[in-house]
Every structure is written in structure tokens, then in C-alpha cells.
Amino acid sequence: MGRSDLQKLLDQKKSAKKHLIDECWRGDLFLRSGGGSPSRAMVGIPPLRREATRLSPRTVCSEEPLLIIFTTKEKSNHELVHNLLEGLLVLPVLVVVVSEEEPGEIARHHSGKFFWFNPESGRNAPKLDNFLIGADMAVVFDEKQATLNALFDKGVVPVGHEKSVMLSNYNAIEEKGNSFTYAEKGPWGVFAAVVRACETYRFPYDWQHIIRGILNVR
């Protein structure tokens, strides 16, 4: 991939992320002056939190990385994600949780960091595609080739298990790797990998190097 192509992709992602922030975090969907019920698929600001959001709105920064978390249907995964979200409260990151489960109390946290999206068995595929275009990184618990290729195609850096043959943990010294991996599938292992991803995101040279790497994997 040439420098101009890479810059075009990065500009596209920046524009898409700004649009998502305006739509999902700055209240366009849920704090309409005309009222109305939010879509079942989008519960970024649940009704229980609307008043709190008006009183103490979160200043959303488009410079923060946008992280997508793809959940699975196992109960253990639901608990893992809940614990992970508690840890993510301390990181400068915006989070979209893709799940068919009902959002827990953590999704209503007053920080406004979390946006819950229900794919509804594929019926919201176009909206999910928009999230992928704007996303910087994604936590996956399903390291299937199709799943990872969908991320690579959109320039999204995976955070996944080291067992995947398609993922190589990024090494800043060697400037090699296409992802941030964890050895233990638990909240602390995944959290540590997300921390490394967020720290690396702060350095444009390293992050662009990873993007080149994931596009070459396709």
C-alpha cells in the first residue's frame, strides 16, 4: 500500500469516526428535542441515563481511539465483557459493544464511554459496517478467518488471542506485528492487550505501520 492510499484510508476513518461520535455520543440519536423511543439496536444512552446525560454531558474527543468489542453468546463471555468494561473506564477510549444481549448496568455508566449495538442477527449489517469503517481497534473472541478479514479490510487493528495463526503481536522495537494479543482469555489479559493498543495509538508512526501490516495480511 502506497503512502497516498494509506492516508486516504486514515482520512476516511477519521471522517467516519467523527460522524459516529456526532450521531451516537453527542445525543443526536437519543436526546432529540421531539422525544421518541431509541431504536432497539442502539442503546448508547438508555432512558435511565438521559437526565444524567443532560446534567453532566461527556466531552467526547474524536482523537480518542474507537474500540469495538464483539461479544459471543456464552454466559462466561458476557461476564468477561462486563469486567472488561469496568477496566476500560480508566482508559481514554470510546467503546462500542456489539451484542445481542441486553446491556448491563455498566453500559449506563455516567462517563458516557459506552455505546451498545444490537446486530439483530445481521439485520443491522449496514450500520455495523459504518462502525467498522470508523473503528480503530476491535476486541474479538472469535478468531475465525472471516472475522479477522472483515477487520483487516476496514483497517481495524484486532485485539485477539495469541493462538490465532493470523495474528502477530505488535513489537514496537522490531516494528513487526498486525495486532495486540493476549495469552489468557480473561478480563485482565484482554485489558492489558487493549492498554498496549491504546498506548501505541498515541504514536502515529507506529499505528500507521500496523495498518500497513494488517492490509498486507488480506
Which domain CATH number covers 98? 3.40.50.2000
**How many whole angstroms separate alpha carbon 123 and alpha carbon 113?**
25
- At 102, give phi and psi (nearest 5°): -70, 140
**How many whole angstroms separate alpha carbon 106 and alpha carbon 85?**
7
CB atoms within 10 A of CB 55: 8
pLDDT at 100: 85
* pLDDT, greater one: 48 or 117: 117
Given CA atoms 126, 127, 128, 134 in this order, what sign does their dihedral have? positive
- Residue 22 domain boundaries: 3-217
pLDDT at 29: 42
Q: How far is CA 63 from the centre of its chain?
A: 14
In tens, the pLDDT along 96-134 reads: 999 888 777 777 777 778 888 888 766 778 888 999 999
In tens, the pLDDT along 152-184 reads: 999 999 999 999 999 999 999 998 999 999 998
pLDDT of 51 > 80? The answer is: no
Average pLDDT, the chain: 80
What residues pair up with 114 in beta bridges, in sequence order? 95
Counting the structural domains of the chain, the total is 1
Q: How far is CA 45 from the centre of its chain?
A: 17
Given CA atoms 69, 93, 103, 24 in this order, what sign does their dihedral have? negative
Question: pLDDT band for position 40 (50/70/90)?
Answer: very low
pLDDT of 48 > 90? The answer is: no
Question: pLDDT band for position 59 (50/70/90)?
Answer: low
| End-to-end alpha carbon distance in the chain | 12
Question: pLDDT band for position 78 (50/70/90)?
Answer: confident
pLDDT at 54: 27
% of the chain with per-residue pLDDT over 70: 80
For the segment 66-74, the average pLDDT, to the nearest whole number, is 91
CB atoms within 10 A of CB 155: 22
Q: Which range, of 50-59, 129-138, 187-196, averages the lowest pLDDT? A: 50-59
Q: Which three cell numbers stand for residue 175?
A: 516494528
pLDDT at 74: 86
CB atoms within 10 A of CB 50: 14
Question: pLDDT band for position 26 (50/70/90)?
Answer: low
Q: Which three cell numbers stand for residue 121?
A: 442477527
Tell me the pTM. Answer: 0.82
pLDDT of 193 > 90? The answer is: yes
